[in-house]
Amino acid sequence: MSKKRIGIFGSTGSIGKQALEVIAAHPERFEVEVLTAHSSADLLIEQALKFRPNAVVIGDESKYTAVKDVLFDKGIKVFAGPKAMVEVAAWSSIDMMLAAIVGFAGLAPTLSAIEQGTPVALANKETLVVAGDIVMATARRKNVPVIPVDSEHAAIFQCLVGEPGGCLEKVILTASGGPFLGKKPNYLINVKKDHALQHPNWSMGAKITIDSATLMNKGLEMIEAKWLFNLAADQIDVVVHPQSIVHSMVQFTDGSMKAQMGLPDMKLPIQYALGFPERLANDFPRFSFKNYPSLTFEAPDTKTFRNLAIAIEVLKTGGNSACVMNAANEEVVNAFLRNRIGFLQMTEVIEETLAKIPFQATPTLNDYYNTDTAAREYAASLINGLG
């Protein structure tokens, strides 16, 4: 059997590194065709020396020489800059792209791979939040599978395997609740990044960890689910499940429900997406009910965690509103991580940005780019005013 050649876009991040662990555990199945990083040149070099890809791309052009000096002699092609990332994403030698870049920056390379006809394992949820209509329409036109890596969507995807079309009534996304589950605004007003970065169940990149603390992550995931599974807003529910064992659920038109369960380990959905339609064996730790005598479920507190309420509104509104929300969110998370604004101020900036940026009902890709730029500029000006 020929090996699947994987292009990992964002290989130096949390998802990217775990994907390389999965690949290392299945050398008979997978090979690395391309690795990319934004600025972590040393780690990119180390990964390339171990996995011997055909090419690497470093986003930060100032690091090009440093990477090339080491890898060129080893026969590994080196490119730099965002444009190169989009060009390399279109290489037909990539059998599957793992979209593991964080944020809006992942959109262009992911679309480039889909346009080329390359199947995508999608971790980068912001791609669908920003331009889910265009991304999924392109995937349908090119007959390209988009296999979710996000654990909730991987759960839903697995629950739907083998089911006939038209039998899905609703999906229920589980949320851990993050580190501030049960807390109220008078507590949240003072929390700092070090505390917000302590996620109870998952070890992830900084941006998604803050999104999990504010519940924006679940809002982004509702919008991601809408596009991946072609759902209406009222077909998507959220339930808080602090143990993160049930990764999400599907309710069918006969009232029956399916859930997908397992330990909170992103290597599972990564491996499932890379191996799909097969389910590969592994020796990762197993879940046991003995260690989890109680699995609990409760409604999310959208009065306290208003980012989720905002995202639900945006999910219903559609158009470019999710793009605005995403851009403002990326700016505020960045500012919070640099201790420039407080936890609750993140929500205020997102709300004000949504109120300011003109609504467009049916944006083009170019409109999404312009919306992203305008929303970021406005959110940044609000942050400057606060700081």
Per the listing, tokens 């009902």 go with 361
> Is there binding between residue 71 and ligand NAD (CB under 6 A)?
no
Which residue carries 């890709």 as its tokens?
Answer: 365
Within its chain, how far is the Cα of 352 from the centroid?
25
CB of 173 to ligand NAD, least distance (A): 12
Position closest to Mg ion via CB: 150
Within positions 261 to 290, which residues make up the interface with ligand NAD, using CB under 6 A? 266
Q: Which of 107, 71, 62, 67 is nearest to 89 (CA)?
A: 107
Beta bridge mates, 7:
34, 97
Taking CB under 6 A as the criterion, the residue among 6, 7, 16, 227 binding ligand NAD is 16
* Phi, psi for 311 (deg, rounded to 5): -65, -35
Please tell me whether residue 189 adopts helix, strand or coil conformation: coil
**Candidate segments 151-159, 254-262, 299-307, 342-350, binder of Mg ion by CB under 5 A:** 151-159
Contact 55, 34 (CB under 8 A): yes
Please list the helix, strand and coil fractions of the chain in percent, rounded to the nearest 5, in that order. 50, 15, 35
Which of 19, 32, 100, 175 is close enough to bind ligand NAD by CB under 6 A? 100
Angle subtended at Cα 227 by Cα 126 and Cα 234, rounded to the nearest 5 degrees: 115
Binding residue (CB under 5 A) for Mg ion from 33, 126, 133, 150: 150
CB of 160 to ligand NAD, least distance (A): 19
Q: Which does 37 bind (CB under 5 to 8 A by kind): Mg ion, ligand NAD, none?
A: ligand NAD
- Rg (alpha carbons) of the chain, rounded to whole number: 20
| Binding of residue 14 to ligand NAD (CB under 6 A) | yes
| Contacting residue, 125, 218, 306, 376, with ligand NAD by CB under 6 A | 125
Looking at 6-14, 167-175, 252-260, 303-311, which segment touches ligand NAD (CB under 6 A)?
6-14
Q: How far is the CB of 293 from ligand NAD (least distance, A)?
A: 26
Would you tell me which residues interact with Mg ion (CB under 5 A)? 150-152
